[in-house]
Amino acid sequence: MMSLDCPHCGPRDENEFHYGGQAGVAYPAHETTDEEWAAYVFLRDNPKGWFRERWFHVHGCRTWFTVERHTVTHEIRKAP
Amino acid sequence: MTHHPDFLWRDPDPRPAYDVVIVGGGGHGLATAYYLARNHGITNVAVLERGWLAGGNMARNTTIIRSNYLWDESAAIYEHSLKLWEGLSAELDYDLSFSRRGVLNLAHHLGDVREGRRRVNANLLNGVDAEWLDADEVRKFCPIVNVSERARHPVLGATLQRRGGIAKHDHVAWALARGADAYGVDLIQGCEVTGFELRKNRVVAVRTSRGRIAAGKVALAAAGHTSVLAAQAGLRLPLQSHPLQALVSELLEPVLNCVVMSNAVHVYVSQAHKGELVMGASIDAYNSYGQRGGVHVIEAQMAAALELFPIFSRVRVLRTWAGVVDVSPDASPIIGRTPVENLYLNAGWGTGGFKATPGAGWVYAHTLAHERPHPLAEPFGLERFSTGALIDEHGAAAVAH
């Protein structure tokens, strides 16, 4: 089990958290084509390596936060 | 000992060019190569495998075969696959140990019951065999399931597909590899694709750890690593890669006569021919290529399994492992052409690709040969994510695809 560093509660076990997927997916600023809207709804990066992602401390303080995690080693570091 | 049994396929070095290069030597890649040769006479084909043949998800899945999906599009493609399974041992002249022992999908609450009965009706309309069993019939069909009303997860009934079952995954891979090899397909192991050579918007070659290989067409069949490959061709896909864990117990005498799946409690169980219980879990929530997951996922899976099968309470786990599965937003596969000319896609089978092995290979080979989707593959094109014509199989697939 991974340990995640909640910014409010400190390091806690992974199963206190809910995964939120890729960080920084912005809502489209303007009218979109169908393709742009599909990209916003369905397309996410899926890198083999470092990944900026959201986590939710659902069984704790209920803070959402962003970390960088390596998708092979599962190493976690603070998101810049 | 100097004697080694005969190898089932050659171990060739890559040639400089092929009509079709298939990336990924798992079940789907091998089946695609086999049917390209058998159905379409296309034999100037290479299957490139980064590791060894069928050492990825093909070696890690729980080998469940069924076709009882909800929507017409899914029922059609999975039923096509199941029909191929029914003749595959004879076709490949290899005992695949396909055992049609029946697949139960348990219902634990009224929502499950309604969903299950609806799915039985939908299956029957699509010519897929399906039955609804009440709790007492479940007990008669599979006596070791705990159907007590006081159970943590009471069993209110189940769907049953009698033609469903399990097969021996390694035999499937070996038989397909031998069959493809006999047609002259080059199965090239230890050959990692590191990039694509594009001319304008057309792929013309793959770069590999064993040199450049020119290709008339490139067919991705790389499951969990599809996104990584597609990114090398400049494509973003609606796929996320997750660990999917499974485990086996020590060997037992025959005790479980069918496949039992439960979406609500995230567990699916069968007893392999050799005697071990094979159990699958749900995916780990995060993206990963690490081929391992959290122990708490296994713990939850075991807790659910013991509620359903109190008889297993003293069974010991022999080993656990994980594969990397490529999950699509609607739990349905993506098959067909891509925005890059001559680059084809067969991906997104997520947690349920094994059962589709022959069917996926059949329709993908057809799609490659005719440069347009096989009728069964047509609804599964990449464009459905912008047209909105999704094929939402979360109900029939859930974790236990």
pLDDT of residue B263: 82
- For range B210-215, the mean pLDDT: 98
Cβ contact B165:B99 at 8 Å: yes
Would an 8 Å CB–CB cutoff place A28 in contact with chain B? no
Q: Give the sheet arrangement for strand B259-262, strand by strand.
A: B131-134, B157-161, B103-107, B259-262, B267-271, B276-283, B240-251, B317-327
Do the domain assignments include residue B208? Answer: no
Would an 8 Å CB–CB cutoff place B392 in contact with chain A? no
Look at the block and give the residue holding tokens 């290899």. Answer: B94
Query: Per-residue pLDDT for A59 more than 50?
Result: yes
Cβ contact B286:B241 at 8 Å: no
Do the domain assignments include residue B129? Answer: yes
Cβ contact B173:B30 at 8 Å: yes
Cβ contact B365:B36 at 8 Å: yes
Q: Which residues of B touch A71 (CB under 8 A)?
A: 241, 286-290
Cβ contact B290:B302 at 8 Å: no
pLDDT of residue B281: 87
Do the domain assignments include residue B319? Answer: yes
Do the domain assignments include residue B315? Answer: yes
Summarised one tens digit per residue, pLDDT across range B351-362 is 999 999 999 999
Nearest to A48 among B228, B286, B388 (CB): B228
Q: Which residues of A touch B295 (CB under 8 A)?
A: 1
In angstroms, the Cα distances linking B233 to B66, B196, B271, B299, B342 are 34, 6, 42, 40, 11
For chain B, the first-to-last Cα distance in angstroms comes to 44
Would an 8 Å CB–CB cutoff place A37 in contact with chain B? yes
Would an 8 Å CB–CB cutoff place A34 in contact with chain B? yes
What's the domain count of chain B? Answer: 1
Summarised one tens digit per residue, pLDDT across range B70-126 is 999 999 999 999 999 999 999 999 999 999 999 999 999 999 999 999 999 999 999
Q: Which residues of A touch B385 (CB under 8 A)?
A: 38, 41-42
Confidence grade of residue B291 (pLDDT, cut at 50, 70, 90):
very high
By DSSP bridging, strand B334-337 and strand B343-347 are antiparallel
Across A24-53, b (16+ Cβ under 10 Å) vs e yields eeeeeeeeeeeeeebbebbbbbbbbeebeb
Q: Which residues of A touch B286 (CB under 8 A)?
A: 19, 53, 69, 71
Please list the alpha-helical segments (H only) found in B351-398: 357-370, 384-387, 394-397
Q: Which of B83, B27, B167 is nearest to B376 (CA)?
A: B83
Domains located in chain A, CATH noted? 3-24+36-78 (3.30.2270.10)
With CB atoms and an 8 Å threshold, state whether B296 touches A14: yes
Three-state secondary structure call for residue B379:
helix
Q: Which of B360, B376, B321 is nearest to B26 (CA)?
A: B360
Across B62-81, b (16+ Cβ under 10 Å) vs e yields bbbbbbbbbbebbbbbbbbb
- Alpha-carbon gap: A25 to the closest alpha carbon of chain B (Å): 14
Nearest to B238 among A19, A21, A42 (CB): A42
Q: Which helix (H) or strand (E) holds B308?
A: helix B295-308
Q: Rounded to whole angstroms, how far apart are CA atoms B112 and B119? A: 10
Q: Which residues of B touch A51 (CB under 8 A)?
A: 287
Q: Which residues of A touch B381 (CB under 8 A)?
A: none
Nearest to B386 among A13, A35, A72 (CB): A35
Summarised one tens digit per residue, pLDDT across range B248-273 is 999 999 999 999 999 878 889 999 99
With CB atoms and an 8 Å threshold, state whether B228 touches A46: yes
Percentage with pLDDT > 90 across chain B: 92
Give φ, ψ of B65 to 5 degrees.
Answer: -125, 125
Confidence grade of residue B320 (pLDDT, cut at 50, 70, 90):
very high
- Alpha-carbon gap: B237 to the closest alpha carbon of chain A (Å): 6
Summarised one tens digit per residue, pLDDT across range B184-197 is 999 999 999 999 99
Span of B127-131, B208-212, B239-243, B393-397 with lowest mean pLDDT: B393-397
- Alpha-carbon gap: A44 to the closest alpha carbon of chain B (Å): 6
Do the domain assignments include residue B228? Answer: no
Structural domain boundaries enclosing B309: 100-163+240-327
pLDDT of residue B4: 76
Is B199 exposed, middle or buried (CB count within 10 Å of its CB: 0-12, 13-18, 19+)?
exposed
With CB atoms and an 8 Å threshold, state whether A1 touches B295: yes
Nearest to B329 among A34, A35, A42 (CB): A42
Do the domain assignments include residue B311? Answer: yes
Would an 8 Å CB–CB cutoff place A69 in contact with chain B? yes
- For range B209-232, the mean pLDDT: 98
Would an 8 Å CB–CB cutoff place B303 in contact with chain A? no
Summarised one tens digit per residue, pLDDT across range B139-177 is 999 999 999 989 888 999 999 999 999 999 999 999 999
For an interface test with A, the pick among B192, B226, B229, B287 (most A C-beta atoms closer than 10 Å) comes out as B287
Query: Per-residue pLDDT for B396 more than 70?
Result: no
Q: Rounded to whole angstroms, how far apart are CA atoms B176 and B179? A: 5
Confidence grade of residue B397 (pLDDT, cut at 50, 70, 90):
low
Contacts A–B by Cβ distance under 8 A: 63
Confidence grade of residue B6 (pLDDT, cut at 50, 70, 90):
confident
What are the counts of helices (DSSP H) followed by strands (DSSP E) for chain B?
Answer: 10, 18
B132: left (phi over 0), alpha (psi -120 to 50) or beta: beta
**DSSP 8-state symbol, B310:** G
Query: Per-residue pLDDT for B1 more than 60?
Result: no
Three-state secondary structure call for residue B101:
coil
What value does the CA radius of gyration of chain A take, rounded to a whole number of Å?
A: 14
- Beta-carbon contacts of B54 under 8 Å, excluding residues fewer than 6 positions away, are B25, B26, B27, B30, B169, B170, B173, B174, B177
Residue of A nearest to B237 (CA): A43
Residue of A nearest to B296 (CA): A1
Confidence grade of residue B295 (pLDDT, cut at 50, 70, 90):
very high
- For range B395-401, the mean pLDDT: 55
- Beta-carbon contacts of B135 under 8 Å, excluding residues fewer than 6 positions away, are B147, B154, B155, B156, B157
Q: Which of B94, B23, B86 is nearest to B56 (CA)?
A: B23
Confidence grade of residue B329 (pLDDT, cut at 50, 70, 90):
very high
- Residue B19 vs residue B265, higher pLDDT: B19
Query: Per-residue pLDDT for B2 more than 80?
Result: no
Q: Which of B349, B344, B360 is nearest to B23 (CA)?
A: B344
**DSSP 8-state symbol, A15:** G
Would an 8 Å CB–CB cutoff place A61 in contact with chain B? no
Do the domain assignments include residue B270? Answer: yes
Q: Which residues of A touch B389 (CB under 8 A)?
A: none
Would an 8 Å CB–CB cutoff place A2 in contact with chain B? yes
With CB atoms and an 8 Å threshold, state whether A14 touches B294: yes
Would an 8 Å CB–CB cutoff place A38 in contact with chain B? yes
Q: Which helix (H) or strand (E) holds B307?
A: helix B295-308
Q: Rounded to whole angstroms, how far apart are CA atoms B181 and B179? A: 5
- Beta-carbon contacts of B382 under 8 Å, excluding residues fewer than 6 positions away, are B237, B238, B334, B336, B337, B338, B345
Do the domain assignments include residue B111? Answer: yes
| CATH code of the domain in which B318 resides | 3.30.9.10
Query: Per-residue pLDDT for A11 more than 50?
Result: yes
pLDDT of residue B24: 98
Look at the block and give the residue holding tokens 């925005």. Answer: B339
Q: What is the pTM for the complete model shown? A: 0.96
Q: At what angle do helices B357-370 and B169-182 cross, to 10 degrees?
A: 30
Q: Give the pair of three-digit tokens for residue B279.
A: 């159990």
pLDDT of residue B264: 78
pLDDT of residue B401: 47
Mean pLDDT of chain B: 95
Please list the alpha-helical segments (H only) found in B189-247: 226-232
With CB atoms and an 8 Å threshold, state whether A46 touches B287: yes
Would an 8 Å CB–CB cutoff place B275 in contact with chain A? no
